[in-house]
Structures are given as C-alpha cells and as structure tokens.
Structure 1
Amino acid sequence: MKKTIQLTLALLISTLSLFSQTKQTATADRFFDNISYVDAANKYKELAEKNPTEHVLKRLGDSYYYNVKMKEASEAYAKLFKNFTPEESEYMFKYAQALRAVGNFKESKVWMQKFHQTKLKDSRGEEFTDKNANIEAIKNEKPLYEVSNLVYINTENSDFGVTDYNNIIFFSSTRKVGKFVKNTHTRNNKPFLDIFYVSKDKLNSANEKTPLSDEINTKYHESSVSFSPDKKIMYFTRNNYNEGRYRKDEKGYNNLKIYRAEYVNKKWINIIELPFNSDAYSVGHPSVSKDGKRLYFTSNMPGSIGQTDIFYVAINGDNTYGEVKNLGPKVNTEGREMFPFISDDDVLYFSSDGHFGIGALDVFSSKLENGRFQKPANLKAPVNSQLDDFAFSINPNTKKGYLSSNRKGGAGDDDIYAVIELQKTIPIIEKPCLRVITGTVRDQMNQKIPNARIVLKDAKGIIVKDTITNEFGDFKYKLTCNKNYIITGLKEYYKNDTASFTTNIASKIKLNLSMSEEFTLNDVNELIIKINPIYFNFNKTDIRPDAARELNKVVAVMEKYPNMIIAGNSHTDARGNANYNQKLSERRAKSTVDYIISRGINPDRISDKGYGETQLVNGCVDNDTHSNREKCTSEEHQANRRTEFVIISFRKK
C-alpha cells in the first residue's frame, strides 16, 4: 500500500509538473510570437533548465539570435544539436552564424559545411564553403576604411542610420526625449525609434540632438531617412501606423511601411504611405538614387528570394511609382539583405548575412554597370566586425561616410561610426576567361524536351553541374576556357545521349534522346506503350492468347516504372452502327484493363475507356446512313481498330 501511495504521489507530481511546463511554454510562445524576444528568452531559459525539449531549445536559441545575443544563441543551439536532430536545416545556418559572431570560425565552418550538404542549392552554403572564401583576407588584410566611434552622438540605447542633409545629418535613435519615454518595444524592452537631427559641426560636442516634429515621429518606430535630390521630399520607415490607426497582418504582426513627406514652409507635412506598401509584409529602409528616378528598399514581400531582399521601384515624378522589381540573386540570397544605400557614383551598399562575411550582418558593395549590379564585395574589417554592421553610407567626393554597428566597445546597443575611405572601395578583380555553352535536348521527332536532366562532368569524370533544361528544353552554362567536358542528357522513358566538347570557343550542344524501346508515339503524338496490335474475335471481348502475350508486355512495363499511370483506350473503325461500335470498344477496353489488373497491377494506376469510331487515325469515315462513306482498304480500316495504352502521368515517387 505504501509503495502504491508513493507511486500515485509521484505520478501526480509528474502530471502537475508537466501541466505547469505546458502552461509556461504557452506563455513563452506567446512572447515569442509577439516578437517579445527578451521576455521569451527568459521564459524559455527557465523551461530549458527543467526540461530542455527540442521546441524549447529552438525557441531559446532564436530568441537570443534575433536580439543579436550571439554567445547565448550559440550555447542554446549547441544544446539543441547535442540532444536532437532538427528537421529544419536553417538551424545549422543560424548555429554556424552564431559561432562566427563569437569568433569560433573553425567550428562555424564545420556547421556551415553540414548546412551546405543538406541544402546544396542554397547560395549561402555555396558562398561560405567556397574554397576561395578566405576569412583572413577580410579580417586582417589592409583595410579599405578608417572607422571611429562618434562618441558624442551615441547613447546607451540604439543609434544608427545616418543620412546627409546639407549641413546636418539625420539619424534614428531610441534615446529618451526629455524625461519621459513614450513607448517601449516588446522585442528588446527598449524605447521605440525616433528620427533626430544635428548639425555636422556639433557631431563632436555634447549638445542635445533634436527630434523631428510629432508629425513625423509617432509613438512607434520611425527610422531610415532618404531624400529627393532637391531635398524637398523625404522618405522614411515607420510601423504600420497612420492617422492614428495601428494595423496588423493576419498573424498579428505590425509590419513596416515607407512613408513620404513634403518640406513646405520649413515643416514636413503631407505624409502619405507609398502605394506598394502592404499590411501583409514589411517595406522599409528607403534610399533614393542621385537622379531621383529610383527608390531602393528592403522587403519580405512575396517573390523574395530570402528572408528579406532588396528591391527597387521607379519614381515617376507625378506621385506615382513603377513596377516593384527584385534586384535578383546576384545581390539577394536566401538570407537577409537589408539597409540599401545607393551612392552618387552608382554603388549599392547593403548589409547581408547570406554573402561570405566576418560576422552576423556584414556590409557589401555592388557597382551598377550597364544596368546590372556586379558580384558584391565585402568591405572587410574594420567596417565589418563579428556582430551586426549595417546602414553604411558614403560620399564618393569627400570619401567620408557613416556606419552603424553593435560591435563590442560601443557606447550602447547600436552605435554610429564615422568612416573615411582609404582606397578605392571596389577592388579591380581580373575577370576569369569564360565561355558560354548553350544547348538543347530534343526527341526523335525533333521536339525540344523540357525538364530533361543534364549532367556535366570534367575530364576527370567529376560532376561539375547537375541541372535540368528549362521549359523550352534549353540549357546554358558559363565554363572556364580551354577545358574538356562530357555532357549527358537523361530523361525517364528515353535513352541517354552523351557528347564531349572543349571550351576553346563558345559552343552549341545538341543532345538527342531517342525513346526507350518500351515506348512510342501514336498517330496523334501521344506517348504509348509499344506493343503489337491486340486482336479480338468478331463481336467478342475475350482475351485471346496472342493478345495476352502483348498485355503481359504492358504489365512488365508498369512493374518496371511503378510511378506510371496509364489509360487503356480501345477504338473501332467506322463501319457498322456508331452506338454499337461505342459499346463494343468500351467492353474491349474494360476487358484488357481487367486482364492487366488480374496480373497484380494496382487498379489506381490504370483506367479504361472506349472511343468507338470517334477518333479515327485516317479518313475512313462511314456514318450510320453511309452518306459519307469513304472507300478504304482492309488495312486502312484495321489501322482504326486499335487498343493503345497511353501514358497519362507520372505519379511522384
């Protein structure tokens, strides 16, 4: 009895403990879903000490990661991978980035290689595991810039994002205004951002920095300012809060939007949101080109390559805007690209965690040439550090600019730094010799084959590329000059074709895939199983021995290709009554399909249909009144009496 009481008490305590933890997990999840990462981290930490489940450790790591607490994030992810194997490979990437941010580059590389092996087509894995990616080159080589902390502008809170405006600068800050703080953001329990300005000649003095008017600064976030060339239009980022209305998306998130204000009589008025904003996603960090014709910005809108991408839109000059366009995969990765700044000499500066860098967010530059942005270059240390470096801007004439960073040694959360260019921002890189190799894959009817697999090997037999043709059956590569390659085209139900070539000149490759011996095309170009004609006795539907031999071939093909779906279609010639012919063809179609099913083929993979005389393959027509009868030979009529097994689709394996 005593043991029973003890066991009952133990079960009761265990149940109460589980109930308590479930309730606490719900509380922590609610904080996390509301982007209250500080409160969420505290709750998940308590839970992890008692029962470190996979969910708790994931969320604990993410709560630290999203608040750039990389030491704590790396420790949480380490426990996660020690005890569990998360299905989401993104956790490998975040763990690798957290390790990189705390200076553990060796272990970071190990986890980045694991991430790359899991997601081979993710550009981030390719970038960070590239044999030419040299961390020492961007950490310790000769710097491109001199960087110094603007100690008199920075506070213990977040200060970032400088924009030049004649003889003053605008920047964003969570500093207190007077004695009161209007609101506190749940993400990090810090005040909301406002936009401030200060004269350039007072950057190195302790004078108070001035906030913009309440028309611009509200009780929520405002940041990231940019101006039209004449300085009369200001673009800035704000929470989805306008005219006193605070809007959320269907998940409960309040997203960011870009707003436009006009400078009239020394006031910023006529504030409107831009038409490509949305309640469903964020749009922010605007930057206007020198000619005022383009607006660059960051967004996670549909069509993004990664978590956040850089887009641009044409400014038409009549308060309208063009089509929003993504800058594409040369700039954007599957990760985060943020804080674009387009300089007066058409160099795009932006921050990214998807291109190879030193820390969490690194600053990169990409030159606009002939309407296209070139491969981004890392600005190296000391512009980039092991943590977040962002909101970089530069005047190409004065060679002076600004940087924001939460690196160690600053005054507070994010700090503003002065930047002086020491040498040309974008190093001249000798372009490697490349040849453009194009090609097509066609079938025996000279029709292009879409989605055919293309395997490209070098002279040693090592696979260089493994891709598929586009919707038109075409493929295209840029390959190193004067190399030997072997290329093979493959497609299920076709015979392979292989060709060899040398990249001493641009080449056009043609691969011709003949159909596998089990298949052919019928008279209306449908893919069918290749068998001899199936004959029935007059007015009969019984399967004769000679027909059974052919139907067994169909069974063998279906067993060989278990994902293939077919239809058994029977047809008659036009002689005789049309209604009779229709019913006869239906009975014969069913008879052939029943035979195939009786040999073990799943009924879901085959259907039967009779077409009577409705699908003649020649002109041997003959209606019931014989008013349109065409004189045909027995062989011509026989061509219409056919049973075919048409390939309908290929079910996923």
Structure 2
Amino acid sequence: MNKALFIAVLYLAGGFTIAAQETRKARADSKYEKFAYIRASELYEKLVEAGYQSNDLYGKLADTHYFNARYADALPYYRKMLEGPGDVEAEYYYRYAQCLKAGEKYKEAGKMLNRFYELVGKPKDEKSLAEAVHTLKNNKKRFTLKDAGVNTAYADFGTAYNGEDKVIFASARDTGIFVKRTHKWNEKPFLKLYSATVNSDGLLENPEKVAGDVNSKYHQSTPVITRDGKTMYFTRNNYRKGQYGKAEDGTNHLKIYRATLKDGKWGNIEDLSVNNEAYSTAHPALNADENLLYFVSDRSGTLGSSDLFVTEIKEDGSFGEVRNLGSVINTPGRESFPFVDETGVLYFASDGHPGLGGLDVFAAIKDPFGSYRVVNLGNPVNSTADDFAYITRRSGEGFLSSNRGEASGFDNIYSAVTEVPLAFNAKLCGEVKDSITKNPLSGAEVILYDNEHKELASVQTDASGNFCISVWPFAGYNLRAGKEDYRSKEKWIKELDNGETREVVIELNREDIRITTGDDLTKKLALKPIYFDFDGAAIRKRSEIELAKVIAVMKKYPDIVIEVRSHTDSRGSDAYNRALSERRAKATVDYIVNKGGVSPDRISGKGYGETRLINHCSDGVSCSAEEHQLNRRSEFILIKM
C-alpha cells in the first residue's frame, strides 16, 4: 500500500481581514466653545507643516488617523517614525502593518508583523496549534494509565462506549497473524469488533465478539454507538453484500457503515453517502447531540495525509455537506481518530502538531470567542510511540490506544483516568480613566483583538470604569479603549499564563481638550517636561517641539494669557536658585515671543527656585541625577482667557 495512504488504513493493517473599529469623532459643543477645545490632529499637522520633526510627533499624528480608520493618512507618518533615529515602541510596527494591509502591501506588512513579534518576544514561526504543550508535557499527575486488561499478543485498539458498562473495540486476537509496523500491508489482518464489560476498577473484562453482520471476513474497527444503543457507525474495508469494492487503481479503500441493533444483533448494514470508491473515509465520531458526524478522510481538499471532516446528520438519517475542519486542526501531517466528549471538546491523534513523538493525542477546545485552540495532552497520555483513539467521560474515566513498549509494534488498550480536568482560562481586567483627572471613565468601549487584528470581543466599562474579558491563555492580544471625546488608545498584552488574571490600566487623552483659568497646559497638552541642564537656562533642542505646541495654542486662541513658572533642583543656595529659575523663565518666555511671534503682553515668567520641588530631593537628601532633573522644569499656567 502506498506510503501516502492515511493512518486509518495503517491501523486497520495492524498498526490580520482587517477588523478596524472606527472611533467616533469628537463633536463640537457650542456651550464650551469659549473654553478653547484643542483638536490633537490639527495641532500636530500644524507642527509638521511648520517643519518640526520627531518620532514622537509623527507617531502621535499617525495615531490620530489610525484610530479613526484613516489608514492611508496614517501610513506616511508611521513610515517616517519608523525610519527615524532611535527605537520606537513595538506597537507602532503592529499599527503600521495594519495600514500596509489596508493598502494591500501584504509582503511589507508581513515583515513589520515579524518585527513586532520579535520585539514582544513571540517567535516568527510560532504555531498556535499546540499552545499549551509546555504546561502539559511533564504533568504526570493529570492522568493515570493502566493496562485495560483485555490486551493480547496482537492488535487491540479503538474503544467506544456502549451504554454505562460496555465498551466495543477492535482486535485481531483470533486471526493468528503477524504484521510488521510499516505503512504497507504485508499480510491482511482480519480485525473484528469485540464487546467487553467495564468492571468496578474501570478495567475491561469478558471480551466477546460482537454479534450480527458488522464483522465481515475483512477489516472492521473504530465504532461509535448512539446513546440509546440502537445505532452503530463503524469502519470497514469497502465490502458489502459480498462485494469487495476497489478504486480505479485497484485500491480497496475504507468506508464508514451504519448498523442498527435488533434482537441483540447488529444488522441492516448501510453504505453512507459520505463514502466514495476513490478515497478512504474512516473513524466515525458523534457529538453530544448526535447530529454531527466527525470522521477522517484523504479525499480531495485534504491538507495533509489525512484530515478531520464533519457533516450534519439530518432527522431522516441523511447527511449534509462535508466540511474540512480547517487548518487550526488539520496539518500537512496526519490527523485521525476523532472523539467528541460530552462538553464538546474534540480529541484526535496527529503527527502534524508539535508533539512528543509518533502520533500524539490532542484536544481541540473552543476558546471564549468560539474558535478552536489545540493543546497537547502531554505525558503520560502521549509518549514517543503512537498514541491515539482516546475517549473519555465526564467522570474522568477513559481509554487510550498505544503501541508504547511493544516490540511487536502491535497496539494495546489502556485505562486512562483524568485526575485533573483540562482547564484553560485567563482574564484581562482593568480600568479606563482620564489621563489628566485620573477619574474613571464609565461607558468606555474596550475592544479585544488577536495578533491578526481580528476583533474578538467588545465590552463597556461599568460605572467605576472597570472591565473584565475572558481570554484564552498562552496568547497575546491587542486591547483598544475608546470613548466619545477621547482619543482611542491601544495596548499590547503579552501572553497570559493559564489561570492568570492580568490587571490593565488604560488612560485616555481627550480628543478636544477643555482648558480654563488656572490650568497647567503642561498636563492638559500632555507636554513632555521642559527640562534644563544643570546650572543652565538654555532651551534644549528636544524641548522645542513641546514649546511649539504652546505657541500653536496661543496663536489659535489669541485671548489667552500664560505665565511660565520655572523651577530648579535643591542644589545651590536659595538665592542662587531663585535667580537661576528667573533666567529659565525668561529664556522660555523669550523663545515663545521670538520664535513664535507671540505678543509679550500675553506671556510672563516667574522663577520659584527650589521652593516647589516635586519629589523628596531637598537639601541634604542624596538623590540621583535623574531625580534632580525632575525638579528642573518649566510649567505653563493659564491665568486669563
């Protein structure tokens, strides 16, 4: 048999679309017009037009467009920011990539995303398909494994529950055959279905061949029985009513058949519409509602050697469209042996996902957003051998098939009891507040995105500005908060641990800033401090952009009057520091008057020396240069409107 034929035959032989959220534009309110609302984008545009340049300025201007879904407008400013000198925050590579995607520049967008992942510590080629393998690999306490008690020197595998105390499985025990574990048939083992009783220890005893017509002279295995015990789906070679079917190339493929129970015997064998002579269909599984049939196939459209598929079982017993379960579950390798437990978790075997060796058992669990996440069940369920056909009940009792430790290569059945249930959860909780007043913002919208910028969830903050979102652990997220009259803000959340609750605080700046007499424009405009060198009064180059913002406000609102208040650190005498602060205030005023063309009667300056320190660095206190620097500053107080 060709090596590419999927694992079902082997075991019968013995073996970022963009999901942009446009923020609301701030609406003018004539009632507050005299309080001078300042639109951030207008201010930043004027600074750029005036020739000011900095990464910080470009980034902020780009953000004003990005958060309003104006990706084409944001693109050139993000580019200038990233091409400029110095490092930038990782989030800007992410936003730039989204803008590139919107412009269909996918290759460049991919490079920017890779750079973003590097900066946040996420490998470029990370596969989210086995996110929790590192937490389960050595967790031997989660499961207890024992020999199930019915194994022979030949193949025994593929269990299915039949009521509360019965299990049906496949075995070659009465064939007397010997099969090498290769991908080709050297012999034709005649696997039959057997029924065994589950004893009080959870082990199997008293195996008997299943009565009826399901056991043909060829192979049959991997059954699933409905809860009422009246219908069985099972795998068999393409053989029915004495006819041994073959494809055009002579291959006898596998099919799923349906049988019904009558007078204690299985009969009325049906060939299902999901089958075809040209490919194999095998290993059936049912969901809890018994209206979906899962199975394995190597049909056209398969991503690897074999994929998992699903189809609807209609009320009349017919079947709907067959759907591939997709690339989250299916890989270029082999996926097989599906089983769906009572809670909807899909278990399956695969050698395409990261595992411990051979076939491993995985669980596909739906996250809080309805998408499958695939996790490796780890040791001891998985080993370096082939581990597959795992089934379990809500009670934690279950069975596993594996060829571990078998020199012959044949499979055995193990009792697999779950001691610690699988549980994957995490939460992102936090508060949204005003960046100036620090007051909580109720009714703010908080949107959660994945790393491809797909919107996952949206909540609103409560009366206290708080929010909480259930998320999947082992993943990073982009969190965006926004509120009318405020500029939206994004925050990248690094991977969460299982069971973790991550606390996040997001402070929003007003889109239009209301100012009034007594306000400190340093805070209102979110200015970076106007710092000075030690014993110096010259305006630093880096402070010119911040002063340009003050100039822009004074030009836009010609009636306001500002007082510059300058301060020193505690080093030096009081008299000297007073004089030094006066020089700093005068230097700041002169810059605004001379560079900005502001009338001198609209701005004055005053020095306060060391009388208004903002930290503990008073006379005689040992402080670092950085701590002293915080006190060498200028403030801009609005004294008249």
TM-score calculated relative to the size of structure 1: 0.45
Hey, which of these two has a bigger chunk of helix by percent? 1
Taking structure 2 as the reference length, the TM-score comes to 0.46
Higher RCO structure, 1 or 2 (CA under 8 Å, sep 6+) = 2
